[in-house]
């Protein structure tokens, strides 16, 4: 264990010994969740940040939700059918109410979707609905969506939370919302956001907690009556608050050097699993050096990814070969990228980059943010590349400046992560030759006519089986051309205090499992 780790643990122990750190009697039925970043908005038309997406799942429901394999299943929609390539018909479940008591109607769905498409309201989600020509309600329980062109990704986007029609047509009110989910917004201030159960009108949906045993919650033993999301930016402080009984749960945003300490605490339970967050190294394929496929392959072969994840992430990440996780319906098995520095050196020789007198072949610039973990990754990778004669100049920038350069394609190499990928159409956004910056996210300026054709066919394919085959072709070609150097899927790390049990982390980082969690009324032992 390094000196930094020891200092962190010493600080934790010191703080725990301060007066006033004894456990407190908890409010029955109240689940307290520590958040590194609080939501920006609970308006489903505008929620794009991770925190907002996580919290609004408790308050809102869409026509569709995605299952564990990212297949579309009904949420507010009881059923749906595709009448033609350009027309979809959805039938709503009956007896669903908003938290204010109003009955969900087809007009509410129509108004919400029209609001997203309304340029005056400037919803950031509008691009996902660009293929829609019209949305209508033939009656109170049916919604018809007509398209301008076939859109195989339509269902994925229909997890959009539905608002009452009167609210959907109004401008955004970030801190005020009404939904038809299991919880309603009770209060929101600078430090905390509180939700309360909304079972007054709706039967509890599958995956939600069961009703409280009493109105007061005095004997509540399972299923939180209220959930309070509390702003605690510092990760050490979040763990301290868990130990002291001031929080019941935290997830992610925990530095690797804290994990061994958390594991050693008997009153805390840490659960991990691979996530859908894909961490990678991006390459500029128009660069004088990197345009040579042999160079890109050499850089990949020189990376000992197992050593990196063990040293930097307590061996928690799962090695990745492409953007979609292996359990996604559109994903196909790919061969594991090996670690072979000898083969890497030969490829560089063959590419016309022999070692000079100083042992180096060339210098490349690796851009990253000032985040300490990202800097550690860059430093470790640079050391591995140096062994094959590649000198790496690390350039770290504050997040805004770094991301602005990456988005416009101003780099040789960089490291980033794709977060929360649900739809395989992400490949069109990052690989199609029409998506070079600033139009899309093909930041490495990759171009392959076959891949373009497969992407266009996949976007309008009639069946999931046809799409899966096309995406298999795309993933294999992407790997052959070394468009990215894949690293791993970041882990989901969930830590529970002694009052909470029954939570299972989800690959996409969703917190919906808290609705199934059990809260014990017991306070922490002294």
Tell me what pLDDT residue 475 has.
Answer: 98
Contact between 318 and 274 (Cβ < 8 Å): yes
The domain segmentation of the chain, as residue ranges, is: 3-41+181-268+497-519, 61-168, 274-490
Residue 493, both tokens: 């790390």
Tell me what pLDDT residue 68 has.
Answer: 82
Contact between 283 and 296 (Cβ < 8 Å): yes
Backbone angles phi, psi at 233, to 5 degrees: -70, -35
Tell me what pLDDT residue 141 has.
Answer: 97
Question: Checking DSSP bridges between strand 192-197 and strand 226-231, what pairing results, if any?
Answer: antiparallel
pLDDT classification of 313: cutoffs 50, 70, 90: confident
Contact between 47 and 37 (Cβ < 8 Å): no
pLDDT greater at residue 326 or residue 220: 326
Pairwise CA distance, residues 459 & 509, whole Å: 26
The fourth-level CATH superfamily of domain 61-168 is Dipeptide-binding Protein; Domain 1 (3.90.76.10)
Q: Which of 417, 432, 76, 79 lies closest to 252, judged by CA? A: 417
Tell me the average pLDDT across 390-405.
Answer: 92
Say whether domain 274-490 belongs to CATH 3.10.105.10: yes
pLDDT digits (tens, 9 = 90+) for 80-97: 999 999 999 999 999 999
Indicate if the pLDDT at residue 41 is higher than 80. yes
CA 32 to chain centre: 22
Please state which of the ranges 39-43, 255-259, 283-287, 424-428 shows the lowest mean pLDDT. 255-259
Q: Which of 179, 185, 229, 178 lies closest to 75, judged by CA? A: 179
pLDDT greater at residue 522 or residue 43: 43
Average pLDDT of every residue of the chain:
88
Task: Go through the chain and tell me how many residues it has.
Answer: 526
Q: Per DSSP, which regions of 398-504 are E strands?
A: 413-418, 484-496, 500-501
Indicate if the pLDDT at residue 217 is higher than 90. no
Contact between 427 and 474 (Cβ < 8 Å): yes
Determine whether 341 is exposed, middle or buried from the number of CB atoms within 10 Å of its CB (0-12, 13-18, 19+). middle
pLDDT classification of 124: cutoffs 50, 70, 90: confident
By percentage, how much of the chain surpasses pLDDT 90? 70
pLDDT greater at residue 471 or residue 153: 471
Question: Checking DSSP bridges between strand 192-197 and strand 500-501, what pairing results, if any?
Answer: unpaired
One-letter-per-residue 3-state SS of 353-397: CCCCCCCCCEEEEEEEECCHHHHHHHHHHHHHHHCCCEEEEEEEE
pLDDT classification of 210: cutoffs 50, 70, 90: very low
Neighbours of 350 (CB within 10 A): 13
Pairwise CA distance, residues 90 & 64, whole Å: 10
Pairwise CA distance, residues 255 & 495, whole Å: 13
- How far are the Cα atoms of 80, 85, 113, 456, 504 from residue 133, in angstroms, in the given order? 18, 13, 11, 20, 40
Backbone angles phi, psi at 249, to 5 degrees: -160, 140
Tell me the average pLDDT across 190-208.
Answer: 72
The CATH architecture annotation of domain 3-41+181-268+497-519 reads 3-Layer(aba) Sandwich (3.40)
Cβ neighbours for 172, distance < 8 A, ≥ 6 positions apart: 41, 43, 45, 46, 121
Residue 294, both tokens: 């042999």
Indicate if the pLDDT at residue 118 is higher than 70. yes
pLDDT classification of 246: cutoffs 50, 70, 90: very high
Tell me what pLDDT residue 314 has.
Answer: 85
Please give the DSSP secondary-structure letter assigned to residue 126.
G
Please give the DSSP secondary-structure letter assigned to residue 290.
T
- How far are the Cα atoms of 155, 421, 476, 508 from residue 70, in angstroms, in the given order? 11, 10, 21, 10
């Amino acid at each position: 264990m390094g000196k930094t780790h020891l200092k962190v643990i010493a600080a934790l122990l010191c703080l725990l010994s301060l007066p006033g750190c004894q456990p407190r009697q908890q409010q029955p039925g109240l689940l307290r969740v520590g958040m590194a970043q609080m939501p920006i908005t609970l308006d489903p038309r505008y929620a794009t940040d991770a925190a907002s997406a996580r919290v609004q799942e408790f308050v809102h429901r869409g026509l569709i939700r995605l299952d564990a394999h990212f297949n579309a299943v009904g949420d507010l929609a009881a059923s749906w059918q595709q009448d033609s390539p350009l027309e979809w018909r959805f039938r709503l479940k009956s007896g669903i109410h908003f938290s204010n008591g109003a009955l969900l109607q087809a007009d509410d769905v129509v108004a919400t979707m029209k609001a997203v498409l309304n340029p005056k309201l400037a919803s950031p989600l509008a691009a996902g609905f660009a293929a829609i020509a019209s949305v209508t309600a033939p009656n109170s329980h049916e919604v018809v969506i007509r398209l301008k062109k076939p859109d195989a990704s339509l269902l994925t986007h229909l997890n959009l939370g539905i608002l009452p029609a009167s609210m959907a047509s109004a401008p955004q009110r970030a801190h005020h919302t009404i939904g038809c989910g299991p919880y309603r917004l009770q209060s929101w201030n600078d430090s905390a956001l509180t939700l309360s159960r909304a079972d007054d009108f709706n039967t509890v949906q599958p995956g939600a907690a069961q009703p409280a045993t009493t109105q007061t919650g005095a004997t509540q033993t399972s299923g939180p009556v209220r959930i309070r999301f509390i702003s605690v930016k510092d990760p050490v402080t979040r763990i301290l608050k868990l130990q002291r009984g001031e929080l019941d749960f935290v997830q992610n945003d925990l530095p690797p050097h804290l994990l061994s300490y958390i594991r050693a605490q008997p009153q805390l339970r840490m659960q991990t699993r691979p996530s859908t967050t894909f961490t990678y190294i991006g390459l500029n394929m128009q660069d004088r050096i990197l345009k040579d496929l042999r160079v890109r392959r050499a850089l990949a072969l020189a990376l000992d990814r197992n050593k990196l994840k063990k040293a930097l992430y307590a061996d928690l990440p799962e090695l990745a070969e492409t953007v979609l996780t292996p359990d996604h319906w559109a994903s196909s098995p790919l061969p594991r990228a090996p670690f072979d520095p000898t083969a890497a050196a030969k490829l560089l020789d063959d590419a016309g980059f022999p070692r000079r007198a100083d042992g180096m072949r060339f210098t490349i610039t690796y851009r990253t943010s000032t985040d300490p973990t990202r800097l550690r990754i860059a430093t470790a990778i640079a050391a591995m590349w140096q062994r094959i004669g590649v000198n790496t100049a690390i350039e770290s920038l504050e997040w805004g400046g770094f991301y602005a350069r990456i988005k416009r394609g101003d780099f040789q190499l960089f490291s980033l992560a794709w977060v929360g990928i649900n739809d395989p159409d992400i490949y069109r956004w990052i690989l199609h030759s029409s998506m070079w910056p600033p139009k899309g996210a093909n930041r490495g300026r990759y171009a392959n006519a076959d891949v373009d054709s497969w992407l266009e066919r996949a976007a309008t394919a009639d069946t999931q089986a046809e799409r899966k085959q096309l995406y298999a072709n795309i993933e294999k070609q992407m790997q052959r051309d070394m468009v990215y150097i894949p690293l791993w899927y970041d882990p989901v790390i969930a830590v529970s205090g002694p009052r909470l049990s029954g939570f299972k982390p989800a690959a996409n980082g969703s917190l919906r499992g808290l609705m199934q969690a059990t809260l014990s009324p017991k306070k922490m032992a002294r």
